[in-house]
Structure 1
Amino acid sequence: MWTIPNILTCVRVLLIPVFVIVYFLDWKWAHQAAAFIFWFAAVTDWLDGYLARKLQQSTPFGAFLDPVADKLIVAAALLMIAHTYQDPWITIPAVLLTAREVFVSALREWMAGSGHEDSVQVSFIGKAKTMAQMLALIGLLSELQEFMGIPIYWVTLGYILLLIATVLSVWSMTAYLIAAWKYLTIVPEAKK
């Protein structure tokens, strides 16, 4: 159970309260430090998946905990930016992204329980959504518009990427639902 990928996943789970506490600290670079922690967690997410495949260390524990860790830290980040910005252009996408994650997780769980999990595998659109979402959250968490006097517009880019992630999110959710629809609409035979 204690493989390198599983340890990285556990580290990511343990980083969630650290990430939230750092974000709300009352010091100048708190948001940038929290954005760095979020970035580090995103890197460990990629790294644990890569190592699990490369070292052939995939485990049931890792298969369960990895997506849970991802969804927990992303949900925390979405709540934090909605709280910080209090802007409908942030809050509405944050709600849609969170709702999509709950919906798709439930759909995948139901499909796996009914033996049709191959119908709702992660697609390219889902991966693109995740990349846009992670970059958006890093930018919005950091609140950086300039660095050492050089304009970098992280927040502006974060807004744009969050909207792109939201569109891709709804698109991928719709694709998953269409793929699963034939299984969801089967009428069970009446019991005698």
Structure 2
Amino acid sequence: MNIPNLLTVLRVLLIPVFILLFYLPFSWSYQAASAVFAFAAVTDWFDGYLARRLEQSTPFGAFLDPVADKLMVAVALVLLVEEHAQLGYMHVLLTLSAVIIIGREIVVSALREWMAELGARAHVAVSNLGKWKTAAQMLALVILLANPPQVTFLVIVGYALLIVAAGLTLWSMFQYLLAAWPHLSTDTEKK
């Protein structure tokens, strides 16, 4: 167990803390939950940096890191969808964005696993577009988690960033599917 792996495990362990803080009946609970989420997002970048810099990449870390990221984001999205239910049409935008983001993660994870079985995982490696998507998504979630579900300037900015993230999410998914299409469209029955 090295430092990058410990940071990844810490991110998973922070999920129940994050949920508890979000639901506490105090005026500061949203900000505290958002701070824990932001800290987890920073550890995500930091553990990857340390793993590369210290040459401490491990199979365990390669497996758990994306799982921890997806769990933290999915939990945040589910909490926000539930909490923002009274915001009418804005809630519909949040829900659609959450479905797109979570659905894309499932599709791309399955695609990467399948491509790895074919020995072609490099065709669906993380792209720069995925990094922009992640940045917009994380910033949106930090903003939305920190604020109560009311129509304010910051909440509108958070929604706008999440919609941008959902758009980039779809775009990156289509890029991954196009890169994998030659493998997906091969007729394996004839071989």
TM tier, shorter chain?
over 0.9
User: Is 1:14 paired with 2:18?
Assistant: no
CA distance in 1, matches of 2:164, 2:190: 45
Higher helix fraction (1 or 2): 2
Unpaired segments ≥5 residues, structure 1: 146-151
Kept in 2, the 8 Å contact 1:144–1:153? The answer is: no
RMSD of equivalent CA atoms: 1.4
Q: Please name the residue that 2:81 is paired with.
A: 82
User: Is 1:94 paired with 2:98?
Assistant: yes
Kept in 2, the 8 Å contact 1:45–1:66? The answer is: yes
Identity of aligned residues (%): 55
Per-residue deviation, 1:154:
2.6
Give the letter for the 1:139 counterpart.
Answer: I
TM-score (ref. length: structure 2):
0.93
CA distance in 1, matches of 2:188, 2:174: 24
CA distance in 2, matches of 1:168, 1:3: 33
Per-residue deviation, 1:179:
0.3
- SS where residue 7 of structure 1 aligns? helix
- SS where residue 132 of structure 1 aligns? helix
TM-score (ref. length: structure 1):
0.93
User: Is 1:120 paired with 2:124?
Assistant: yes
Give the letter for the 1:89 counterpart.
Answer: L
- Can you list the C-alpha shifts for 1:93-124, whole angstroms capped at 9, x where unaligned? 01111000100010001001111001001111
Equivalent positions of 1:1-192 (< 5 A) are 2-86=1-85, 87-143=91-147, 153-190=153-190
- SS where residue 188 of structure 2 aligns? coil
Q: Evaluate the alpha carbon distance shift between residue 154 and residue 144 of structure 1 in structure 2; reply closer, same or farther with a 3 A threshold.
A: farther
Per-residue deviation, 1:156:
1.9
Kept in 2, the 8 Å contact 1:23–1:33? The answer is: yes
After the TM superposition, which segments of 4 or more aligned residues of structure 1 sit over 6 Å from their partners? none
Unpaired segments ≥5 residues, structure 2: 86-90
The size of the alignment, in residue pairs, is 184
